Structures are given as structure tokens and as C-alpha cells.
Amino acid sequence: MKQKIFEGFDFTDFWDDSDYSKENYIEEYPSDELIKSIESELGYKLPESYIELMRLHNGGQIYKSCHPMEESTSWAADHIAIEGILGIGQKKLNSIGGELGSKFMCDEWGYPNTGVYICDCPSAGHDMVMLDYTKCGKDGEPEVVHVDQENDYKKTLVAKDFETFIKGLVSDEVFDNSEEELKETLETFKTGRFSDILEEYFKKETNIDFDRVLRNLFTELTKEKGYFALHADELSYFTYDIQFYLMTLNKQIKSKAEFIKDYPSLVAMGNNEISTGGYADFFGDWFDARVKKGDIKKRLFKSSYVFSDKFKASLLEKIKKYE
């Protein structure tokens, strides 16, 4: 296809045609009939710049996976990160009409239906990039916005239109100050303070030095990842285990909602130096998984959640490695 809107734009080192991208993102080139069908299904006229790009390469992961931002978001103070661009189609998992496409994000995740979600992000659904038709109407030229599920679906302007968005994408190397940040984070684990409430919780268990345990655990986790964040990996789940255990020593947790309300003040949004400074709801998934496996049970008479005796014993044994 002859390029018009993107004529002269260098797409060298833009697309990442990995096996994963081919399996989950990249669709066949869209026909006029398919485009009209998708537009009818979603209720919005797709911008010509998006259609042209998808006729050149219909979706996929990208190497130029960051876009500078004037306003900070949950991802970073100066940029957002993109996992992939959703193509025009219905066959691939990550296409705008696919199983995890635009309609799914609105229906199942509660994202606002004011446009078409065209990019997923590394947060596994907790933020997205959308063509936003709020100002232009369903047939107009949409802005490109970042939508943050963890911040009440806050919209932050990324670019005035899709063409500008694509031309503004850069490599993550532009924002790579990871070595310096890693060094500072590891130093914080040596000298920084935990949140006031977490330090108060430490006092309840005198046989275990949880201050030392968490400093050592966070150091290992951060060295492994290259940064300090809690997700759905094994060490993050271990961290959730310890925080939940400390909570149960100090208070009764009568519901998942109560746990989710109290959790952020411990580490995720702690009021002192040792904090991730933000969070996604992986700890809610952790809670569900522990309950499903029987690791977390509800005490019969007190009607509060605690670890099962078997899981508690294994947890305390695992903690010894970090003392």
C-alpha cells in the first residue's frame, strides 16, 4: 500500500515481530468490509491515520514503546509505556475487536466508553491508551489519551491525534536511568524508614525481626527486577503474605474490601521512604488466589480472615531465610 499520511516516516526498528506478537497481536491486513464492521460494532469512525498504519502492519508489539508526557501518570513522571498497538480485527487476542479488545475493556474492566482502546500497557490492563472522541464526536478526529484504571480512570492527553502519537513514540532507552535509580533504591532499603503503621505492626511480633526481613526481601526482589515494584511474581506474593500476616497480628480483617482499603498504607503508599509509590491491584488477585487454595480462611467465631495453620507454618519457615 502507498503511504500518504506516514509518507517519509521511518518505520525501521519500529515493529517487534516476535512470535508472541505474531500470535497475539498481528492480524491480516484489514479489508474495507472488516473496517466498516468494526466501526459499526464499536460505534466510532476510525481515524484515517490509524487505518493507513494498520494496512501497512496490522497491530503488534513495538520497539519504540514510550511516549513523552507533559503531565505525570501512574507509570512515570515524564512518559508512558506501550506494550503493543491493537490491530483492526477480531481473531487475535489483542486486537480492537478481539477477546481482550476495546469492548472487553469497557464491559469487563469498567473503562469509559468514550472511544476506542488501541494500545495496551505493561500493567496488564491497569492502564490503556485510547482514541478519545469526547470532544470531536463519533465521526471526528479523536485525541489520543492515557487512561489510568487505578486512578479512577483518569484521562491524560498524550497527543492531539493518532499520527502525532505514532511520530512521537521513542525507545525506552531515552528514559533509561535505571542504574542510578536502582542504586538509590537499594540504599533506601539500608537507611530508609518503613511507614509509621508498618513499624507499629512490627512490634507485635517480638520473635521475628520483620524490619530486617523486609529490608532483605525488598533488596532481593529489587535486584532481580531492576526496580522496586510489586506485581504477580513469587517474591511479590511473598511480600503480600508477610504484610497480610502482620495485619492479622494487629487487627481483624473481616472482608477482602477491608484488606484492600488498609493494604496501600503499609508499603504501596507508605508515608516514609520505603514505598513503591503506587500500585496496581495485584494484591487483590493474591487475596483471591490464597482464599481459593485454602491458604486464607475465615475464623469461625471471630469471623475474620487469617492464614491456615499449615500455610502459616510454611510462611514462618520461609521467613527465616531473610532474618
**pLDDT tens-digit map of 158-172:** 999 999 999 999 888
Q: Which of 48-52, 121-125, 229-233 has the lowest mean pLDDT?
A: 229-233
Q: Is the pLDDT of residue 223 over 70?
A: yes
Q: What is the pLDDT at residue 72?
A: 87
> How would you write 238-290 as a 3-class SS string?
HHHHHHHHHHHHHCCCCCHHHHHHHHHHCCCCCCCCCCCCCCCCHHHHHHHHH
For the residues 251-266, what does the mean pLDDT come to? 94
Mean of all residue pLDDT scores within the chain: 93
Q: Which is the CATH superfamily of the domain at 15-175?
A: SMI1/KNR4-like (3.40.1580.10)
Residue with cell 492480524: 27
- CATH 3.40.1580.10 placement within the chain: 15-175
Res 278 pLDDT > 80 = no
Helix (H) or strand (E) holding 167: helix 162-168
The pLDDT of residue 2 is: 59
Check pLDDT > 80 for residue 33: yes
- DSSP element (H, E) containing 147: strand 143-148
Q: Could you report the per-residue pLDDT of 169-213, keeping only the tens digit for each? A: 988 887 766 788 889 999 999 999 999 999 999 999 999 999 999
The pLDDT of 259-274, averaged and rounded, is: 94
